Amino acid sequence: MPRLRQDNVTAARWSPNGATLGALDLTDPDNRLFATKVFTPAEQRKRLPKNVYKQLQSTLERGEALDSSLADAVALAMKEWALENGATHYAHWFQPLTGSTAEKHDSFFSPVGDGTSIADFSGKELIQGEPDASSFPTGGIRATFEARGYTAWDPTSPAFILENPNGALLCIPTAFASWTGEALDFKIPLLRSMGALSDAAVRALRLLGDDETQLVYSTVGPEQEYFLIDEQYYFARPDLVTTGRTLFGAKPPKGHELDDHYFGSIPERVLACMLETERELEKLGVPVKTRHNEVAPAQYEIAPLFENSNVGADHQQLTMQVLQNVARKYGLVCLLHEKPFAGVNGSGKHNNWSMSTDTGVNLLDPGDTPHENLQFLFFCTAVIKAVDRHQGLLRATVAGPGQDHRLGANEAPPAIISIFLGAELHEVYDALEKGKASEVKPGSLLGLGTPVLPPLPRHGGDRNRTSPFAFTGNKFEFRAVGSTQSIALPNTVLNTIVAEAIDELGSELEEAMKGGASLEEALRPVLQKAWREHKRIVFDGDGYSQEWHEEAKRRGLLNLPTTPDALPYFVKDETVRAFETYNVLSKRELEARYEVFTEQYAVKINIEAETAASIARTMLLPAALRHLALLREAGVPELVSETEALVNEFVAAIRALEAANLKENQDDASAAAWAVYLRDKVIPAMERVREVADKLERIVADDLWPLPKYSEILFIK
C-alpha cells in the first residue's frame, strides 16, 4: 500500500479520546457552565463589600479612573476568586498590532523570609503592567531604546480564567500603549470610537425627541468560518505549517460542486470537537449560538449572539484561540487562513454591526411606531453616508494577503465596497427622494404617520450573498472581514465614520428645525440630500459580474483589489481629519498602522515565496525527476516527452522565483515599495511555479508525490 494511502487509513480512524464529558442534565443549575470562569458583575457583587461594588459600577458607568483604594479591593477579590479556580499566575491579556493576543505571566506567589510564600496581588498590579514589549510592531511610534510599553486594565471587559491540563491562568483584558501615550493595540481605538459614537448618537436622539437615553453602544455578532483537517496532513505540508495555506495543490475531481457539505450532517469527530469548544467558550462567557457545516468540505462556522463591540472583540479573539487549542485534542488542526485551499470556498468573518441604547432600543430596527421609523431612517441614512464617504478606508480595514486570494468569488464579497438594502428599503428611499410616499402594503410595511415620509418595510431581508455590506433587518453585516482578522479595527472604523455622519446629519436637522418646522418636516430634506449624494454606494445586483465592475467605475466607486491598493487609505486626509476630530487615532497613530500593516503584508508574502521555492526545489522537483526516470526506464517515449517538458518548465519557473526572491532581499526600499514589488513580481512568479507544479501533481506517480493532496486533506475526517 503506498505511503499516502496508509496515512489516509490512519487519519480516518478516530475514537473518543477521553476529553469528552458526555451529556449532562442541564436542568440542574450545577451543570450550567456559562461564565463560570469569568469574574462577572454577579461574582463581584458576591465578593466585594456592598459600598465598594456600588462605587465600582458607578465609576464604570461614568467612565472614570479607579482610585487606589477601590482598585486594591477589586484586586483582592479577583485574586481570591482566581486562586479558588486554581490559577497560580495572572497575565495582562492584550491585543498588539500583530492581530493576535499577547500575555506575560506573573505568579501570585512571592517568597517570604521564613521559607514560605504568600499570594499577593495589589490594585497597582491590577491596573497597570509593564511588559518589555520591544518586539511588538509599532510603525515607528517608539524606538528600541524607549521600547517599554504599558498595559492598562479594561474593567469593562471582565477578567477570565484560562484552564490548562496542569493549571490555570487569570487573564485580565488590558489596553496597550507606549510610554508617550500612543495606542499600540486594537482595544484603545475601539474604546475611543465607542465613546465617539455614543456622544454623536445621544446628541442626535435628543433632536429626535429621546430624552431618556444616556449611552449608545455599538454591538457585534461575528460569524467565524474555519477549516478542520487531520493533523497528519497538516504536519506533512510545510506550506500549511509555515504560511497557513497550501501553496501547491491541484484541484480535486470533487470540491464543493455538489453543495452536499453545506448544512450537512456534522462528522462525529468534528462534532465532538465542536461540543468541547463550545463548552470551553461557555465557561468563558462567550455566547455561542450557532454551528454548522460551511460550503467547502472540511469547512465549518461558529457564531455568537450580539454583544457590545469591546467585549465582542475580546470574545472573538478567545474564540479563535479556543478553536485552535481544542482541535489538537481530537487529532485535528484548525485553519483560520482566508484561503487555505485554492478553488474552494474561503473563510470570512461576517461582522454583524448595529447600535443600541442603554434603554434597550436597537437604532437600526425599523420599529413598530412612526417615531421609531423616523429614528431608524435617520441612523440608517448616517450609515449609508459614512460607508460611501469612507469606502476606501473600510476596504483597508480588511486588507491582507489572505484577503487578496479570497475576495471576489466563492461567496466572498468583491473588493468594491457597496451596500445592499433590499428591494423594499430601496423603494422607501426612492420614494423619499421623489417626495411622495409609496403605497402601503398591508402586513409588510409600516406607515410613518405622516404623508411627507414613505412607509418602511417591517423586515428587510438579506438575499444578496455577493454584497460586502448588507442590511439584514436590524443590523448591517460587513461580510468582507477575513477569518484570521481581529474585528476590533473594522468596528473602530465603523463606529468613527458613523459618528461623523450622525453629527453632520444632526447639525443639518438642528438647523432645519430652527425655523419652527416639525421634526417630520425638517427631517425629510436632510434625508433627501444625504440619499442623493450617497446613493451610488447602494447596489442590489451581482457583485461578481463584470457589468458591476464597469458600473461601479461609472459611479465613481473605488475598486481596490489588492492590499497595497487599499492600505494608503489609512493615511488619507479625510481619514486623518475624522479620526483626529473624534480623538480615536492621531495622525501619528494612523501612520504607524499603515507602516505596520504594509510591512506585515510584505513579510508574509516573502515567507510564502521563500517557502514555495524551497518546497518546489527540494520536494516536488525530485519527485518529478524520479517519475521521469521511471518512465525512461519503462520506455514510454510519449510520457517521457510530456513529463520532460513540464520538468523543464518547472525548473525555469523555480529559478525565476528564486531570482525574484533574491532581488527583493537585496533592494533597499520602503515597506510600500517592497509590498508593490512583491505583488507585481514575486506573486506572479509564485503562481507560475504553482501552475506547473499542479500539472505535475496530476501525472507524477502517487507514491512519489510528497505532499498530501486536496482529495485526502478535505474529505478524510
List the single range of 247-251, 409-413, 555-559, 620-624 with lowest mean pLDDT. Answer: 409-413
Kindly provide the b/e burial profile for residues 287-308, where b requires at least 16 CB atoms within 10 angstroms of the residue's own CB.
bbeebebbbbbbbbbbbbebbe
Check whether 167 has a pLDDT greater than 50: yes
pLDDT in tens, 444-503: 444 444 555 555 555 555 555 678 999 988 999 999 999 999 999 999 999 999 999 999
pLDDT for 446? 46
pLDDT for 289? 92
Kindly provide the b/e burial profile for residues 379-403, where b requires at least 16 CB atoms within 10 angstroms of the residue's own CB.
bbbbbbbbbbbbbbbbbbbbbbbbb
Q: Are 315 and 307 in contact (CB under 8 A)?
A: yes
Average model confidence (pLDDT) across the chain: 88
pLDDT for 135? 72
Q: Are 392 and 537 in contact (CB under 8 A)?
A: no
pLDDT for 542? 85
Q: List, in order, residues 6 or more apart from 665 with CB less than 8 Å away.
A: 606
pLDDT for 440? 41
Model confidence at 179, pLDDT cuts 50, 70, 90, reads confident
pLDDT for 147? 56
- Measured CA to CA, the distance from residue 315 to residue 309 in angstroms comes to 10
List the single range of 14-23, 116-125, 605-614 with lowest mean pLDDT. Answer: 14-23
**DSSP, res 473:** S
pLDDT for 448? 46
To 10 degrees, what angle do helices 637-666 and 587-615 make? 150
pLDDT for 114? 66
The pTM assigned to this predicted structure is 0.92
**DSSP, res 369:** S
C-alpha 585: how far from its chain's center?
A: 20
pLDDT for 449? 45
pLDDT for 4? 60
What percentage of the chain carries pLDDT values higher than 70?
A: 89
pLDDT for 436? 65
- Measured CA to CA, the distance from residue 561 to residue 584 in angstroms comes to 27
Terminal C-alpha separation, the chain? 20
Check whether 523 has a pLDDT greater than 60: yes
Q: Are 227 and 300 in contact (CB under 8 A)?
A: yes
Q: Mean pLDDT over residues 626-655, rounded?
A: 95
Model confidence at 433, pLDDT cuts 50, 70, 90, reads confident
